[in-house]
Amino acid sequence: MTPELGQLALILALLLAAAQCALPLVGAWRGNRALMAIARPAATGQAVFVALAFAILVSAFLRFDFSVQYVAANSNLDLPWYYRIAAVWGAHEGSMLLWVLILNVWTVALALFSRQLPEVFVARVLGVLGFISVGFLCFILFTSNPFGRLLPMPPDGADLNPVLQDPGMTFHPPVLYMGYVGFSVAFAFSIAALLGGSMEQSWVRWARPWTNAAWGFLSCGIVAGSWWAYAELGWGGWWFWDPVENASFMPWLVGVALIHAQAVTEKRGSLRAWTILLSLFAFSLSLLGTFLVRSGILTSVHAFASDPRRGTYILCFLAIVVGGALLLYALRAPKVAGGKAFALVSRESAILIGNLMFTVAAAMVMLGTLFPLLGDALNLGKISVGPPYFGLLFPLLMLPVVLLLPFGPYLRWGKSDAPVLKQVLVRVGVAAVACAIVAAFFVQGQLKAIAGVAGAVWVGVGVVLYVVKRWRDMAPGRRYPAEMAGMLLAHVGVAVFLIGVLLSESLSVTRDVRLAPGHVAVVGGYTFRFDGVTQATGPNWVAEQGVVTVTRNGAPVAVMHPQKRTYSHEQVQTTSAIDPGVTRDIYVALGEPMDANHVEGAWALRLYTKPFVRWIWGGGLFMMLGGFVSATDRRFRVKRETEATQTVTGVLQESKA
Amino acid sequence: MFASIMLIVMLALLATAAIAQAIDPLPFRDHAEELRFQHLTSELRCLVCQDEDLADSNADFARDLRHKVFELMQQGESDDQIKQYLVDRYSDFVLYDPPVNSRTWLLWFGPLLMLLAGGMVVVYTIRKRTRAGTPAAPTENGDDW
């Protein structure tokens, strides 16, 4: 298969996407069922051609087709096959193709699982998704063609950035994009609702599982990225408040708010306009993230692309999508607050306050990320906004959320009784204080660590109390519906995450040392003995590999092999060695020989002990699981199954006629 | 087109020349001084890198600046004095912790303003909904959670 076929497939996909966008929307407007019926086949056809284009690019990488410029720039003969596949999304053009592919995966899933939704509504939803697809396919075809030829064909390609040659990188972009693009479904539902002028609660119920699943994927993608930064970059950090990290974090924060607002709207009918606005924001921030990363506007460790044409295109597309959506919102959003009334002490109020904190946090992250760009553009002088800014403001904004969290499940819709809440307050308060006092003895009075233990116990005990209460009160089988189980899992994730962040931040020890073979250094109670450097080889690299023996009180703990790799194209990359553990990680990175001519002599090493650092990703994975489990709730399907049979028979009759 | 490939290779070579020096053992007097140094260099920007702090940067420039910071610490200068020394030479851009001044008040107080504005909307909404009528009594069958 030649690359030109890939190009052709993309052009055909663009035409089908245009059909999927325009015809069903017109059909829904004019009440023309034939036009509406085009939505599904057009979406399926588009997906087939996009998948074909993607497969052709993958096969070009696998066959070392260096006549394709993108392949030549991102792979070479020495690169193992699994990294050649990952190289498909290792740079700009391929990752845009991946974006569109994933958009098609969501669209086809929606087309398949929406048989029971009203025809007009589905036509509008698929039409909106088609519009987004048109935008991205045009972007690929006109500014970022991955199938461009390179003649004469070079004998070998350049190398994939060695930083990206890591298992985490094969996994991180697709999962992150599943999350980003997944919010397009909630976006499309909202636009369809605005277009149709129907603000019934039912469309929110249809949108909820999609939003929960997308948010679960986004959580997973962020965890994978954070893990990759920790394991691969060699600095032992897990979050740098880098603009590209922030770009994925903003939709996540708005996603949290959206998931909760959708619950209110679906169950009580309140906050309809706000739920719609949040779904517009969540997807707009996903697009903004793509823009920030892909336009080259940021000079950050992640942003590889730089081409003003691309930047201008995405900015215009962003303006059309966001501006258009907000305009539609301004014209059509429900003006009258509907839904049931609620008192001050109610679950609605608590969710509203949580929503406020999460949206302000997202806005704060956006302000901090864009402020240096604004200052630069307006000639106010260059300034840097980094971890000290975010690290101060973010915890302050999240404090009320953590404080409210144990009460969430106990609060009733509409109006809550104070005595129950007081009981919960006393129990979780006593537990948190008691554990904090015990912890104080173990952590030498480190306030941050004590706060971590107290916060985690506060949240965790709240969840456990509720689990016990349900177990006692309810009959078997009705205790934990999937929706609730997901909520409980995600909230436990918050407790686990708090332990991980605050304990590892406050108790980690880092030391840069110079060690000659046989010498030792003591860090955080562990003794590190350096046993010299040997040679190691991999598929496309050679490495100097240090041997570090770790002991504690004389007992062996681990033998670690940090490497300094030189890849086939002379790129150097340190690969740190990590000894994982539930309560602590030991982490060693190899620097330079102190004397470049004597590699058998002393070397510079960075040694870390990181207590509880794994709990950070553990917490994130619990949250992810919560999103997925909630999405499977039968309540989102049961009512539709009865309707489904009717629709199917209806369709059958039609096809017979 | 071949030129662009060459450019990538050249850039890669340049990167190679200046890598793997972030691990930089310095003769600290005690652990407290080492912690102070780690904290200070993590709040300073490596000006030639793409969004990296001094502590983690492999660039030669960052190493020189780290050594300067270390030297100033040995001369008994405080953190603020060292920051001022760097700001005088490299402007506020070197600080990851931007100072509060007329140019940055929006950055520092913007989130507070948003919180206040949003808070007022929330209070207004709750008040309106409280007065909208008697909240429906929650059903007690346990499914309405």
Burial class (CB in 10 A: 0-12, 13-18, 19+), B41: buried
Contact A194, A328 (CB under 8 A): yes
The tokens for A193 are: 């609702």
Cβ-nearest to A473 among B114, B132, B142: B142
- On whether any CB of chain A is under 8 Å from the CB of B124, the answer is no
Contact A34, A23 (CB under 8 A): no
Chain B contact set for A568 (CB, 8 A): none
Cβ contacts of A600 within 8 Å, gap of 6 or more: A517, A532, A533
Task: Round to whole Å and give the CA distance between A444 and B32.
Answer: 15
Contact yes or no for A384 and B144 at CB 8 A: no
Chain A residue with minimal CA distance to B2?
Answer: A150
Q: Among candidates A215, A223, A205, which has minimal Cα distance to A184? A: A215
CA distances from A232 to A105, A144, A564, A574 (A): 30, 28, 12, 8
Chain B residue with minimal CA distance to A303?
Answer: B50
Q: Nearest CA of chain B to the CA of A28: how many Å?
A: 34
Q: What is the pLDDT of residue A521?
A: 93
3-class secondary-structure state, position A373: helix
The tokens for A602 are: 């002393």
Q: What is the DSSP letter of A152?
A: S
Q: Nearest CA of chain A to the CA of B84: how many Å?
A: 15
Chain B contact set for A414 (CB, 8 A): 135-138
Average pLDDT over residues B100-116: 92
Contact yes or no for A572 and B16 at CB 8 A: yes
- On whether any CB of chain A is under 8 Å from the CB of B86, the answer is no
- On whether any CB of chain B is under 8 Å from the CB of A72, the answer is yes
Q: Among candidates A168, A206, A353, A214, which has minimal Cα distance to A271? A: A353
3-class secondary-structure state, position B48: coil
**Has this prediction a pTM greater than 0.90?**
yes
Contact A302, A244 (CB under 8 A): yes
Cβ-nearest to B135 among A242, A343, A367: A343
Three-state SS letters, A433-493? HHHHHHHHHHCCCCHHHHHHHHHHHHHHHHHHHHHHHHHHHCCCCCCCCHHHHHHHHHHHH
Helices A272-294, A243-268: axis angle to 10 degrees equals: 160
The tokens for A181 are: 């693009």
Q: Is residue B100 over pLDDT 70?
A: yes
Q: What is the pLDDT of residue B7?
A: 37
Burial class (CB in 10 A: 0-12, 13-18, 19+), A550: buried
Task: Round to whole Å and give the CA distance between A318 and A314.
Answer: 6
Q: Return the domain boundaries, chain B.
A: 16-99, 100-132
- On whether any CB of chain B is under 8 Å from the CB of A3, the answer is no
What is the CATH number assigned to the segment(s) B16-99? 1.10.8.640
pLDDT averaged per 10 residues, chain A (length 657): 89 97 94 93 96 96 94 91 91 92 96 89 95 96 92 86 81 92 94 81 87 96 91 81 91 97 90 92 92 68 55 87 94 75 90 96 95 80 89 96 94 87 94 94 88 96 94 86 94 96 92 92 93 91 93 93 88 88 92 85 91 96 97 75 43 39
Chain A contact set for B136 (CB, 8 A): 340-341, 414
Contact yes or no for B91 and A363 at CB 8 A: no
Half-sphere exposure of A385 (CA within 13 A, CB side): 28
Contact yes or no for B92 and A513 at CB 8 A: no
Task: Round to whole Å and give the CA distance between A209 and A212.
Answer: 5
Cβ-nearest to B96 among A72, A235, A384: A384
State the alpha helices, DSSP H only, in A307-417.
Answer: 308-332, 347-377, 387-404
Q: Is residue B139 over pLDDT 70?
A: no
Q: What value does the CA radius of gyration of chain A take, rounded to a whole number of Å?
A: 27
Contact B21, B58 (CB under 8 A): yes
Residues linked to residue A373 through DSSP beta bridges, in sequence order: none
Q: Nearest CA of chain A to the CA of B65: how many Å?
A: 17
Contact yes or no for B25 and A381 at CB 8 A: no
Has the ipTM of the complex gone over 0.90?
Answer: no
List the strands of the sheet with A584-593, edge to edge.
Answer: A509-515, A603-611, A584-593, A577-579
Amino acid letter for position A265: T
Q: What is the pLDDT of residue A335?
A: 67
Contact A13, A137 (CB under 8 A): yes
Contact yes or no for B24 and A510 at CB 8 A: no
Contact yes or no for A360 and B114 at CB 8 A: yes
Contact A127, A25 (CB under 8 A): yes
- On whether any CB of chain A is under 8 Å from the CB of B118, the answer is yes
Preceding amide of A209 cis, omega within 30: no
3-class secondary-structure state, position A510: strand
Helices A272-294, A202-232: axis angle to 10 degrees equals: 30
Contact yes or no for B25 and A352 at CB 8 A: no
Chain A contact set for B110 (CB, 8 A): 363-364, 367
Q: What is the pLDDT of residue A560?
A: 95
Task: Round to whole Å and give the CA distance between A199 and A201.
Answer: 6
Contact A592, B20 (CB under 8 A): yes
Cβ-nearest to A300 among B13, B50, B92: B50
Secondary structure (DSSP) of B81-115: HHHHHHHHHH-GGGBSS---STTTHHHHHHHHHHH
Q: Nearest CA of chain B to the CA of A32: how many Å?
A: 40
The tokens for A562 are: 């940090």
Chain B contact set for A364 (CB, 8 A): 110-111, 114
Task: Round to whole Å and give the CA distance between A494 and A404.
Answer: 12
Contact A207, A186 (CB under 8 A): yes
Task: Round to whole Å and give the CA distance between A25 and A134.
Answer: 14
- Percent of chain B surpassing pLDDT 90: 38
Contact A163, A232 (CB under 8 A): yes
Q: What is the pLDDT of residue B10?
A: 37
- On whether any CB of chain A is under 8 Å from the CB of B3, the answer is no
- On whether any CB of chain A is under 8 Å from the CB of B104, the answer is yes
